[in-house]
Amino acid sequence: MLILNNGVPKSGSTWMQNILRNYLSPAYPSEKWANDWKNPSVDPDKLEGYVASGEWKEGTTLLKTHIEYSEGYKFLVADDIKVVVTYRKLTDSVVSWFHHQLRMNKTSSEDKLNWLDTKGRQFALRAVRHRLSWQDQPNALMVNYESMVQDAVPLIEEVTKFIGSPCSLFDAINLVEKTQVRISSKKSLQEGQHVRTGGLSVAKEELPEAYLKELEALQEVVEAGSFTPEIAKAFREGKLEQAV
């Protein structure tokens, strides 16, 4: 069995990785295929070769990936490959990605507004395309991050059943206690942490009001199943209000 923990960045995929790792004690790719991520993975350009190698068929192997589905990845649609796709509210995804880029020294606090209007918009659309690309694939399970924060136990039970190794209620509760990062107050947030907010939403405090409303409007379009290339173009250009 090959399991792809395949949320877009900053979608809760690190939490999901810890859940799966603690529950399954899985194997990981050998050095021939592994990339240099903290969480074991395979570079996208090597993935088809890795799947064809059959190395992963000896047990249960876990990969962390951020792959958007396309026809080029149709080799991943198979009964013995399971894809767990985490997704998150766009407002918080963009804020979290900004702080990730800040931590990686790829932007600055002074450049935040420009970043939001360029890289931030690009990332929001990436998150939308990623989610939509997987939601109709037969071997993919969509897992909402906000639902996990609210009550992760039933979702852990659903995920473990989906991958063919159902856990008990007791196991699910223990996995939550072992893996969930909790931040008690927005006053205690610290810059530089990989998991900075622990489920708290800080979008209203950290995004300009008009920009926040645009992201919320884009979210509504996605939830309604009305996302189109025209909508994407309008959002990219800051003209979503006119388009909807």
pLDDT tens per residue, range 207-239: 999 999 999 999 999 999 999 999 999 999 998
Q: Tell me which DSSP letter residue 34 carries.
A: B
pLDDT, mean of residues 188-215: 85
pLDDT tens per residue, range 1-55: 999 999 999 999 999 999 999 999 999 998 888 888 777 889 888 999 999 999 9
Please give the pLDDT value at position 244.
67
> Could you say which of 3.40.50.2300, 3.30.300.30, 3.40.50.300, 3.20.20.450 is the CATH number of the domain covering 2-207?
3.40.50.300
Distance CA 197, CA 181 (A): 9
Distance CA 195, CA 10 (A): 9
Distance CA 63, CA 51 (A): 11
* Euclidean distance between the first and the last CA atom of the chain, given in angstroms as a whole number: 43
The CA radius of gyration of the chain, in Å to the nearest whole number, is 18
Q: Give the domain ranges of the chain.
A: 2-207
Residue with tokens 């992201």, as numbered in its chain: 215
Instruction: Describe the crossing of helices 229-236 and 121-134 by its angle, rounded to 10 degrees.
Output: 160
In this prediction the pTM is 0.93
